Structure 1
Amino acid sequence: MTSPVPASMFSALSVLDSLVRAGMRHLVVSPGSRSAPLTYALAALDQEKVVKTHVRIDERSAGFTALGLAKKTLEPVGIVTTSGTAVGELLPAVMEAYHSGLPLVLLTADRPERLRGTGSNQTTRQAGMFSNFVRAEVDLTSYPEETPGEQTRLLSRAISLVAGRSEQDWSEASLQARGPVHLNLAFDTPLTPDFSAAPLLKQWAQSLRGAQAPSLAHPDLAGEGQVPSNLPERKTVVVAGDGAGEVAQKFAQTLNLPLLAEPSSGARFSEVAIEAYREVLAGELGDRIDRVVLFGHPTLSRPIASLLADESKESAIFAPVQPSWFEEGRRRERAFSSLGELAEFAGRGSEAWLNSWQVAGAQRRAQLMEQVERFRSDGESLGRAAGMSLALEAWESALEQGEILLSGSSNLIRDLDAIAPSGQRAPEVLASRGLAGIDGTLAVAAGISLAGVDGARGEPLPVRVLCGDLTFIHDAMSMNIGPLEEKPRVQVDVLDDRGGGIFATLEHGELGAHPDFAATVNRFFTTPHTVDLENLAASFGTDNGFSVRVVRVEPAVG
């Protein structure tokens, strides 16, 4: 007698059962036939409200939507694809997740092992495809039939890594870096359940209600360790890169040290945060620095990169867990896992040292604000006045309306870095700074929005996106959200300067002003376009969860 649940379905159910129990609550699915066993199982889980599924036609958008969900929840988020080129579409999101330490689970359906190397339709070497960018990978060619066996052991390890739990003691947090994992499931036909399997699928889904593992009580790193007394005074600065968190802010404030915090650091909400710090760093105060303490992943500015590379200044990094991308001996900072020991390295800042940075930062920001005000009053755009104006408006709107501010990775996040004020309040600012690409920004925004519920309205979280025109065009397809899907709440503010304006601020800007290179820079770097951004946004309909506002300015180059 034929089982109503074929072997392919049993394999999908077993893997999903383990992932749900490990804390997975969101999955993003792209349509396909080979992945049907996973899809039918997920549909049952979704109907019983065990997990939330989100369907996206484009696998690339699906990958970045999952990235946004993981960025906001810090919980394992699954992505389901069919076999073949669909799997390759995930690579950009996987690379970003790896360098950001985000817990994605790639559930890629594959053809049976016997078809590999035969030229069979949609069959390629999927196993190992992401080997440089995942924390673990398992080629499930015979799971769970081989239980107990090597595939079961590898699957258990992969799930523990993505869930951030100790493989030896599930109740303990892991000391290893988190990041994406790849589970490649080889499915043979039949791929669909029998009609009579519906009650069995429902019963299985109901058995998982409330089965998710409880959240781990991670140590409070911001309060870990006592700051030693009688620390020597030193001319130290604290650099807070992407994802540094509150611990960086508390460390700098406790020790009275200037804090150079990127917008997406999660630390820029303090009076010790220095305004317009990049330009201050380029002056006399930058030369006086003796020591640098680093939190998070700094990728935003060349002045910070130069500071960290300066052999004349001692540097240290807070690294209780080494990130996934870390390679021994490749960075020069001395690593500390104890805040107390790190404080001894940093020393304490004098009132004069901190005050000199605060005054210089406030003066430079005031000069930038004069440019912004001139632009707002008469349209005079000096330097990056238009970008800074929009960036400041986005910051203030997000703070006032309780929105999460997601910044694209090009000029505007640098404008935001220059013009954002310091103080005790700041919006939550996120960005894809793992590899700092412009890829998938709108999809990430949708994922962040769908990751939770705004308690005041019972709707998805409000997200405001700050981006340029090329970033917007690059990911416009992610606004294609079908009528059966839950819609995000995303306001997109786009600065349209008709091309890649960031290159005018790099070495190419000077070359672009020279007659011998102007045409080259314009065509190959600025890449001007003629897209009507409002009409592009409108083409996806008015009920997709996105509202788009375009601010047009004259191109910086070309």
Structure 2
Amino acid sequence: MRSSPSWALPAPRTAPVPETLQVRPPPRRRRSSPTRRPSRATAGRSTPRPERLRSHGRRHRGERLPMSANASRQDAGLVTLRQAAALWRVLARSGVDEVVSSPGARSTPLLLGALRSGLTVRSVVDERSAAFYGLGVGRAGGTAALLCTSGTAVAHYLPAVLEARHDGVPLVVVSADRPLDRQASGAPQTVDQIGILGAAPLVCCDLGELGPGLDDRSLRWVLRRAGEIVSRARAEAGPVHLDVRLRRPLQPAALPTADDAAGEEEPAVAAPAFVAARPGPGAGGVERLREMLRSSRRPLVVAGPAAPTASGLGPTLARLAESAALPLAVDYASQLRLDRGALPRDAAPGPWRDALLAGLDCRRLVASLRPDLVLQLGRPPVATSWEAAIEEWARRGACHVVVAPRRHDPVSTAALWLQAEVEAVLSELARPQASVLGSEVRDSAWSRRLTLLDREIRRCIEASVADGWHDGAAVRATLEAAEQAVVWLGNSLPIRMANLYAPFAPVATDGGRGPVALVCQRGVNGIDGNVSSWAGVASRSQGGALAAQGAVALLGDVALRHDIGGLELVSRVAERERLAMVLVVLHNGGGRIFEQLPLARAGLDDSTWSHWSTPSPPSFAPVAEQYGLRFVAAEDAAATARGVREGLARPGVATLLQVRLPDDGAARAANGLRAAIERVAEQSAGEGVEGGGEGP
């Protein structure tokens, strides 16, 4: 007998059970030995017949096929399909109203079940684009479920899931998975999908394996748990992940008809409601804020970006600002500068606030303002210069108060965080019987100085627009022409230019002109997925809270290149929804936001600088043709405005409007405007604040 080498692994004691082997307990055999004597417990009883044992004993897993009374016992694919359809019906009752599916084999039962459930199903080839499309649906007020196959597919959802988590957007991920016996076995297209999205989802749940082995009680648990998790995604506004394991066969021997589906018996499982414990403002917190406002001599109210479906805070905020003499600085993406129930024209914030929120880094302006109380409503403003401003003011004794359901205090300067909805706090502060008052203690010299800054900085901005053709002038021309449209503002330059160069006051007085809503991606603030997310928002823009007559996106050329495959979605949404869609691309040579950072002054050579500037192709016309978009080029403000208006007059057509800009236009205009504003701030220094003082 040959001996094993010293390096050989020991043989396993038991062989692994093959996947196809069904292990069942051995049948009982009756002992008929005449030598066996009955025990006292069984004396006088007759042994039950084997048939009675089978009838009243415990059923083995897989012996009974749930939800398959009309199917043959061998059609496991039909059982799985019916369970998948029941799962989708529970998800629909819990709030899912659209399924965004990417093709794959393992997800076949789930896709067939979604098609039988009555839900709207969209097919998007690329999982990354599909995820951002679903994110856009969520931003517009819907709840999309993403459906993908097993393997690396679900990993492509991560950027959009991160954005949903940080920006408070409901999003449901449903991933098909391989059975447990395929894990860690070298099986193809098999990875550990539980936790693959990290800490981004609110919940990641392994729902187990659908199929004949799932008994009725376990199926009820799967449906109840899935419905509860989706309800939580909507209540807490965030992403969730449901993982479903599936075994072959992945489809029934014959697909059932619609009549068969109508006659299916569904498990008696209600979709449970998950109600998040929304923190309220609390009487103590509101009263403390009221006292701060009463004693503040130089208060400033700042409103950051808000969801396009946010209820109108404008009238309440305007009432509060008027009664308490509160200066306002509102981000352009806050929805408060639009025509739909926003701030009245006479309450509109002035240009010095726009300069503050546009990221120009006007240090003299910041140092000269010196408010003693800064009330931040919701998210902080977009501009990174805001962080430097609030740090400077806090260092000089200003009290920083944040009102938001989530923590939005990037540089940890807040002395008070009221964890509550902004609308609830403002409504409490503006109650007539609990008036804030405090207007009599305001610093009159400071108020006069703010009025002077408004007038002079407005002149600076208008002179910058008239001085030449640059990104800011293109952004203004686009926004003025985007009448009754929902507007997507890309990150980096577009959203900053909108803060600075957009109309100073709400456009809406009579006639209902201007955009109806603004959408931006401010969760993680990335430029990826902007095109696909815009398509998702546009697909819901004609109904619900938006009721837009068109959709406009304002993106940089690098942002377009990051999501160029999303143009296929844009073309499809425009045609399917009979919606006019205009994608305005600021073609400035790429990466011009970096020219406004200290890196641009480091003296890098062109070869090194190209790693940040990321030059773009000379024209996007071939791309537009490839994806079925109408292509238009513009090189001045008049042509830009005309291109937007003509595109919005074409329902069912998607237009790519390429706006050619000087490569150095954005940096040149920003540097010139910053210098002019700093001169104004220095000249008006004698009109302003007396002494430093402590915050309230």
Please provide the CA RMSD for this pair: 3.9
Secondary structure of 1:480's aligned partner: helix
Q: For residues 366-414 of structure 1, give each alpha carbon's deviation from its aligned partner in whole angstroms, at most 9, with x where no partner exists.
A: 3222221232xxxxx4xxxx1111111221122xx20001011011111
Q: For residues 431-490 of structure 1, give each alpha carbon's deviation from its aligned partner in whole angstroms, at most 9, with x where no partner exists.
A: 0011111111111111111114369xxx98521001111111111111124879835642
Q: For residues 159-216 of structure 1, give each alpha carbon's deviation from its aligned partner in whole angstroms, at most 9, with x where no partner exists.
A: 221121xxxxxxxxxxxx32000111111112123435223664279999xx9999x9
Within a 5 Å distance, the mapping from 1:86-485 to structure 2 comes to 86-142=153-209, 145=215, 147=218, 154-164=225-235, 177-199=236-258, 202-203=261-262, 231-243=294-306, 245=310, 246-247=312-313, 250-251=316-317, 253-255=319-321, 256-268=325-337, 269-270=342-343, 271-277=347-353, 279-280=355-356, 282=363, 283=365, 287-298=369-380, 300-309=382-391, 310-311=394-395, 312-319=397-404, 321-322=405-406, 332-336=414-418, 337=420, 339=425, 348=438, 350=442, 352=444, 353=446, 356-375=449-468, 381=469, 386-398=470-482, 401-424=483-506, 425=508, 427=515, 428-453=517-542, 462-481=550-569
1:18 maps to 90
Alpha-carbon spacing, 1:462–1:439, altered in 2? closer, same or farther (3 Å): same
The match for 1:79 among 134, 142, 146 is 146
The match for 2:113 among 38, 41, 55 is 41
Identity of matched residues, % = 23
Letter in 2 for 1:273: P
Secondary structure of 2:464's aligned partner: helix
Query: How many Å separate the matches in 1 of 2:163 and 2:320?
Result: 33
Alpha-carbon spacing, 1:52–1:286, altered in 2? closer, same or farther (3 Å): farther
Q: Contact 2:484–2:548 (CA<8 Å) still a contact in 1?
A: no
Unaligned runs of 5+ in 2: 1-71, 357-361, 509-513, 631-651, 669-696
Query: How many Å separate the matches in 1 of 2:607 and 2:429?
Result: 48
Letter in 2 for 1:159: V
Secondary structure of 2:627's aligned partner: coil
Query: How many Å separate the matches in 2 of 1:358 and 1:204?
Result: 71
Alpha-carbon spacing, 1:203–1:470, altered in 2? closer, same or farther (3 Å): same
Secondary structure of 2:140's aligned partner: helix
Does residue 525 of structure 1 match 2:612? yes
2:104 maps to 32
Deviation at 1:88, TM superposition (A): 1.0
Letter in 1 for 2:501: I
2:137 maps to 69
Alpha-carbon spacing, 1:545–1:67, altered in 2? closer, same or farther (3 Å): farther
Does residue 490 of structure 1 match 2:549? no
Does residue 536 of structure 1 match 2:618? no
Alpha-carbon spacing, 1:339–1:37, altered in 2? closer, same or farther (3 Å): same
Alpha-carbon spacing, 1:527–1:196, altered in 2? closer, same or farther (3 Å): closer
Does residue 552 of structure 1 match 2:641? no
Alpha-carbon spacing, 1:204–1:276, altered in 2? closer, same or farther (3 Å): farther
Alpha-carbon spacing, 1:498–1:13, altered in 2? closer, same or farther (3 Å): same
The match for 1:55 among 123, 129, 140 is 123
Unaligned runs of 5+ in 1: 165-176, 376-380
Query: How many Å separate the matches in 1 of 2:203 and 2:375?
Result: 31
Alpha-carbon spacing, 1:159–1:303, altered in 2? closer, same or farther (3 Å): same
Query: How many Å separate the matches in 2 of 1:326 and 1:314?
Result: 13
Alpha-carbon spacing, 1:134–1:345, altered in 2? closer, same or farther (3 Å): farther
Q: Contact 1:238–1:248 (CA<8 Å) still a contact in 2?
A: no
1:174 maps to none
Name which of structure 1's ranges 416-425 and 481-490 shifts more when overlaid on structure 2: 481-490
Return the index of the structure with the highest Cα Rg: 2
Letter in 2 for 1:66: G
Q: Contact 1:26–1:53 (CA<8 Å) still a contact in 2?
A: yes
Deviation at 1:53, TM superposition (A): 2.2
Alpha-carbon spacing, 1:198–1:413, altered in 2? closer, same or farther (3 Å): same
Query: How many Å separate the matches in 2 of 1:58 and 1:292?
Result: 44
Alpha-carbon spacing, 1:183–1:212, altered in 2? closer, same or farther (3 Å): closer
Alpha-carbon spacing, 1:148–1:326, altered in 2? closer, same or farther (3 Å): farther
Query: How many Å separate the matches in 1 of 2:132 and 2:456?
Result: 39
Deviation at 1:104, TM superposition (A): 0.3
Query: How many Å separate the matches in 1 of 2:107 and 2:626?
Result: 30
Secondary structure of 1:98's aligned partner: helix
